[in-house]
Homo-oligomer: A and B are copies of this chain.
Amino acid sequence: MSMAKTQPAIARDCAHCASRLVGLCSPLTPDVLSEVAEQATHLHYAAREAVFLQGDPARHAFTLIEGAVRLSRLLPDGRRAAIGFRLAGDLVGFTPAQEYPFSAEAMGPVTICRIERRRLDALFERHPVMKQSLLDLFTRELAATQDHVMALGRFTAEERVAGFLVSLAEAQRRRGWHGKVLDLMATRGDIADLLGLTLETVSRVFSAFKRRGLIALHGPQSVEFLDSVMLQELAVGEGCAD
Contacts and interface: CB of A to CB of B under 8 A. Distances in A.
Nearest to A194: B153
Contacts of A139: 95-97, 138
Q: How many copies does the complex hold?
A: 2
Interface size class of chain A, counting residues whose CB lies under 8 Å from the partner chain: 35 or more
B238 A76 contact: yes
A145 interface: yes
15 contacts: A81-B149, A81-B150, A83-B146, A96-B139, A97-B139, A101-B143, A128-B128, A131-B132, A131-B135, A138-B138, A138-B139, A142-B145, A148-B149, A153-B193, A153-B195
Interface of A: 73, 75-77, 79-83, 95-97, 101-102, 128, 131-132, 134-136, 138-139, 141-143, 145-146, 148-150, 152-154, 193, 195-196, 237-238
